[in-house]
Amino acid sequence: MSAEIVALRGRVVVVGAGIAGLMTALELAPRPVVVLSKGPLGAEGSTLWAQGGLAAAVGAGDSPARHVADTLDAGDGLSNRAIVEQFARAAPGAVSRLARLGVRFDRAAGGGFALGLEAAHSRARIVHAGGDGAGRELMRALAAGARATPSIEILEGLEARRLIANANAVCGLLAVGPTGPVALAANRIVIATGGIGGLYEESTNPPGSFGQGVALAARAGAALADMEFVQFHPTALDCGARPAPLISEAVRGAGATLIDETGERFMANTPGAELAPRHVVARAIWRRHAEGHRVFLDARSAVGAEFAARFPIIAAACRKHGVDPAREPMPVKPAQHYHMGGVATDAEGRSSVEGLWVCGEAASTGLHGANRLGSNSLTEAAVFAAIVARSIESVSIRPPAPLGRFSAPPALDPAAVRPLLSRAAGVIRDGATLRAAVGQLAALACSAGPAADPAAVALAIVVCALRREHSIGAHCRADFPRPPAELRRSRITLNEALVEAAAIAPRHPAKRA
């Protein structure tokens, strides 16, 4: 079925309606914007599920310089310092902007922001809302703000399936909605489609977050960066549910401890103990599980009877699975949580394809390096939404090129990719397991089937993880445990990944993208 062609008369198209997409649209107002949301507004994406809040140096005794130092430490030296400094300086302003947009953050007795402490932050600097309900409150306020802004048109139920690009410049996109396929003619497009957790068997992300925007950009020729850096949250509730309910770092920040079934506090001698960087804690728990133990987060004495009042969403998730955190330790295990990699962007959020900006978790700005500092991602989305909007405003508008006739790619389904990627690119990787996944992922990526785009993203992760023959941040190679001799970010295109795949697994010949 070929697509109906819709001219947008110079409007900017934003793909995705989480914090990154909605903030970009709001920052562009009164410039006309069309926002595509594949689900109902406010009902999809990781933003809604965020618990802890936003990191910003707004407290007494804190400073952007301290926030920079903590972010660089968590990133294990791989972050882009200039981006980190730009981010940390802008973070307090981004939080104030959200408050002005109507986000009701929790307040301290004096009226300032109430601040939480999370792992690897040297100061309490997490601005939160509704206890552990930051995401709900953000989406409530941002969706209301976007709906009330006349320059923003929100197209719900419209899923972007392909970018149309010519001579390395975007000229539109193909989407599929309730009335069938449409081709939108646009030469300024923002990808804000969120994370990749739906590509893993065990993840805290909503199932619809499976890297669609990264695939759209990659198939249009955009460079990807740091794809191998996938963060596993140490403390997902070990209850067999998919997605795995998250037990926020704020619970460890409140003093909860990690124990095994014998009661041993096995992180006690690790620097930072339970509040060590996420990859350190995730690996310790992963190893404990691999040794046949079970692991629990014990909040009984640190939080006790106040648990439900302080962490109402976590308490409800625990209750649903028969656990009472006030009276018993919560069973936990690591689960995929966040993608530091994504579409490579410059300091203005521009990708390597003209007219294509990327914001939020789908972007790889260089902020997070080899591992994300908790609660930096919502702030990053808010900070970069303003930067992307200013960048878009600064470019002169070309008339959109006429679109040809296109038929829409099929609906996507990452199910075939999940076991391959989970086995190959989990908490601890090794060359043999990574290599074993390459051929099948390349064949899927080159197919016309529902797993093609998810497999293209997974292939880039696996090829980059293979290239990186050392351990750093969230990337841990059992066969290369030492740190790198030289610090460098990684960059790859889909074509490069396919060429490398053909060399690694010649029995699965892969066509170029």
Q: Which of 12, 28, 47, 247 binds ligand FAD (CB under 6 A)?
A: 47
Contact predicate 251/314, CB 8 Å = yes
Q: Which is nearer to ligand FAD, 274 or 361 (CB)?
A: 361
Q: Does 20 bind ligand FAD (CB under 6 A)?
A: yes
| Candidate list 123, 140, 278, 372, residue with the active-site label | 278
Report the distance separating Cα 373 and Cα 382, nearest Å: 16
Choices 203-211, 294-302, 309-317, 453-461 (CB under 6 A): range interacting with ligand FAD: 203-211
Q: Is 278 among the residues known to form the active site?
A: yes
Q: Alpha-carbon torsion 138, 125, 78, 93, what sign?
A: positive
Q: Which is nearer to ligand FAD, 205 or 433 (CB)?
A: 205
Q: Which is nearer to ligand FAD, 24 or 490 (CB)?
A: 24
User: Where do the H-state alpha helices sit in 110-234?
Assistant: 134-147, 212-219
Nearest C-alpha neighbor of 223 from the set 491, 449, 511? 491
Contact predicate 46/195, CB 8 Å = yes
Q: Which is nearer to ligand FAD, 332 or 362 (CB)?
A: 362
3-state secondary structure of 128: coil
Query: Which residues between 347 and 376 bind ligand FAD (CB under 6 A)?
Result: 360-362, 375-376
Q: Does 39 bind ligand FAD (CB under 6 A)?
A: yes
Q: Does 209 bind ligand FAD (CB under 6 A)?
A: yes
Report the distance separating Cα 339 and Cα 362, nearest Å: 8
Q: List the structure tokens of 186.
A: 């646009």
Q: Does 226 bind ligand FAD (CB under 6 A)?
A: no
Q: Which of 14, 129, 163, 246 binds ligand FAD (CB under 6 A)?
A: 246
Query: Which residues between 115 and 174 bind ligand FAD (CB under 6 A)?
Result: 134, 159-160
Q: Does 377 bind ligand FAD (CB under 6 A)?
A: yes
- Shortest distance (Å) from residue 168 CB to ligand FAD: 21
Q: Which is nearer to ligand FAD, 350 or 477 (CB)?
A: 350
Report the distance separating Cα 147 and Cα 140, nearest Å: 11
Q: Which residues are CB-neighbours of 151 under 8 A, at least 6 positions away?
A: 28, 29, 30, 31, 32, 33
Nearest C-alpha neighbor of 52 from the set 368, 278, 364? 278
Contact predicate 3/408, CB 8 Å = yes
Q: Does 15 bind ligand FAD (CB under 6 A)?
A: yes
- Shortest distance (Å) from residue 3 CB to ligand FAD: 15
Contact predicate 133/313, CB 8 Å = yes
Query: Which residues between 50 and 109 bind ligand FAD (CB under 6 A)?
Result: 50-54
- Shortest distance (Å) from residue 361 CB to ligand FAD: 4
Q: Which of 286, 311, 338, 357 binds ligand FAD (CB under 6 A)?
A: 338
Q: Which is nearer to ligand FAD, 159 or 228 (CB)?
A: 159
Q: Which is nearer to ligand FAD, 234 or 439 (CB)?
A: 234
Choices 72-80, 186-194, 423-431, 499-507 (CB under 6 A): range interacting with ligand FAD: 186-194
Kindly write out the interface string for residues 291-330 of this chain, putting x where it contacts ligand FAD by CB under 6 A and - elsewhere. ----------------------------------------
Cα dist from 408 to 74, 285, 411, 469, whole Å: 41, 44, 9, 39
Q: Is the peptide bond before 178 cis (omega within 30 degrees of 0)?
A: no
User: Which residues is 230 bridged to in the sheet?
Assistant: 339
| CB closest to ligand FAD, residue no | 18
Q: Does 18 bind ligand FAD (CB under 6 A)?
A: yes
Q: Which of 12, 26, 33, 36 binds ligand FAD (CB under 6 A)?
A: 36
Q: Which of 84, 237, 381, 386 binds ligand FAD (CB under 6 A)?
A: 381
Q: List the structure tokens of 482.
A: 């030492």
Residue 161, CA atoms < 13 Å, CB-side half-sphere: 25
How many Å is the Cα radius of gyration of the chain?
A: 22
Report the distance separating Cα 84 and Cα 69, nearest Å: 9
Report the distance separating Cα 465 and Cα 452, nearest Å: 20
Report the distance separating Cα 368 and Cα 76, nearest Å: 9
Q: Does 204 bind ligand FAD (CB under 6 A)?
A: yes
Count the neighbouring beta carbons within 10 Å of the beta carbon of residue 73. Answer: 16
- Shortest distance (Å) from residue 49 CB to ligand FAD: 4
* Residue in the structure block whose two tokens are 């699975």: 321
Q: Does 471 bind ligand FAD (CB under 6 A)?
A: no
Q: Which is nearer to ligand FAD, 135 or 355 (CB)?
A: 135
Reported as type and span, the H/E element at residue 116 is: strand 115-116
- Shortest distance (Å) from residue 208 CB to ligand FAD: 6
Report the distance separating Cα 427 and Cα 481, nearest Å: 13
Choices 45-53, 98-106, 466-474, 497-505 (CB under 6 A): range interacting with ligand FAD: 45-53
Report the distance separating Cα 155 and Cα 348, nearest Å: 26
The site for ligand FAD, by CB under 6 A, has a size of 44
Q: Which is nearer to ligand FAD, 248 or 352 (CB)?
A: 248
- The catalytic residues are 278
List residues near ligand FAD by CB under 6 A: 15-21, 36-39, 44-47, 49-54, 134, 159-160, 192-195, 204-205, 208-209, 212-213, 246, 338, 360-362, 375-378, 381
